[in-house]
Structure 1
Amino acid sequence: MAKEMVKLPIVDENDNIIAHKERNTLDYQKDIYRISALWIENSKGEILLAKRAAIKTQDPNKWGPAVAGTVDKGESYEQNITKEAEEELGLKDIEFQKGPKTRVKSKYNYFCQWFILKTDKGLSEFKIEQDEVSEIKWWAKEELKEQLKANPELFVSGMKQHIKVFVE
């Protein structure tokens, strides 16, 4: 029996679910889907970013939020970020603060519900899932802004919109 593809909620401009589609049938320019993302900052004001694994179909080998995931059918933004934080960085039993929800229109078309975590964990304290993340790094805000301006190709397609929420 073939493995059933996970379906994703497709939403309207107000983030109301209007349909469900298998990921491989999405029209990324037209269909609006949902992601959750975790913005992690330490007491020095540095931001933890994750470099996506080379095997990822969307934005491989690019720097993006420390944790991010596409919300599946039947899953809330909160359930998704809890699952993704454990899968990608080994974060369990942590309390996030709910942040803003943004609408991103770039190469992809989605709502992003942000969650915020303040922590002073060292890089070695995170358990990286190599199929998801190839590397993590604490970035100073100025360094991040400079690199994003000078080398935007190093970052996920929505990163300019993402940092406006927290950095500028």
Structure 2
Amino acid sequence: MEEFVVLVNPEDKVLGLMEKQQAHINGLLHRAFSVFLFNSKGEMLLQKRASGKYHSPSQWTNAVCSHPREGETYLAGAQRRLQEELGIETELSEKFNFIYKADVGGGLWEHELDHVFVGNHESDFNLNKDEVEEVRFISPEDLDKEIAESPENFTEWFKIILEEYKHHF
């Protein structure tokens, strides 16, 4: 099944739909969301993207990042992808949104109006192995150290979104 993204202008006015991979090839601005999940110790959940993903395979990233469907709110899309990728439900709150553009390799670009959500979750994941190889919690200090030592192990957009997240908190 083809997946489409919602193309928008910087003010989030809908311009149309485009097949997801084509939008990534063309580097066109589209709607997206990112979810950061934390446990009771303040550690962040990371997911390792499945090795079969068409871009950024086997790289670590935040809990969930994806695109709302046509007519779907950012929040509803984020909750849907939590269920589809991690097999969980949890309450989310939107913290901020911003626009970024990142070269993700292979002639592909992420150019997104990204709405960032935060929630809490402890354990008991039911991973969709087509999407996620594994998950782990990590302290902010250890995450910063790992990114500094091995930036290639993390998705380009995660590094950008994480820095933006730090500016808001």
Q: TM-score range by the shorter chain?
A: 0.7 to 0.9
Is 2:100 the partner of 1:104?
A: yes
CA contact 2:7–2:18 (8 Å) conserved in 1: yes
Which has the higher mean CA deviation after the structures are superposed, 108-117 or 157-166? 157-166
CA contact 1:104–1:110 (8 Å) conserved in 2: yes
Cα distance between partner residues in 1 of 2:14 and 2:162 = 27
Q: Report how many aligned residue pairs link the two structures.
A: 161
CA shift, 1:84, in A, is 0.2
Which has the higher mean CA deviation after the structures are superposed, 109-118 or 131-140? 109-118
SS of 1:37's equivalent in the other structure is strand
SS of 1:131's equivalent in the other structure is coil
Match of 2:64 in 1: 67
Distance 1:118 1:20, change over 3 A: same
Query: CA RMSD for the aligned pairs?
Result: 1.7
After TM superposition, which residue ranges in structure 1, 4 or more long, deviate above 3 angstroms?
27-30, 165-168
Matches within 5 A, 1:67-146: 67-92=64-89, 94-107=90-103, 108-119=110-121, 121-122=122-123, 125-146=124-145
CA shift, 1:100, in A, is 1.0
CA shift, 1:29, in A, is 5.1
Question: How far does the alpha carbon of each residue in 1:11-52 deviate from its partner, in whole angstroms, 9 at most, with x for none?
Answer: 112222112111232254530112112100122221001000
Distance 1:14 1:131, change over 3 A: same
Q: Which runs of 5+ in 1 are unaligned?
A: none
Cα distance between partner residues in 2 of 1:151 and 1:36 = 25
Which has the higher mean CA deviation after the structures are superposed, 25-34 or 107-116? 25-34
Identity %, equivalent residues = 25
Question: How far does the alpha carbon of each residue in 1:90-145 deviate from its partner, in whole angstroms, 9 at most, with x for none?
Answer: 113x22111211212111211111111123x13xx111110010010101111111
Cα distance between partner residues in 2 of 1:36 and 1:56 = 18
Q: Which runs of 5+ in 2 are unaligned?
A: 104-109
Cα distance between partner residues in 2 of 1:152 and 1:29 = 25
Cα distance between partner residues in 1 of 2:81 and 2:62 = 12
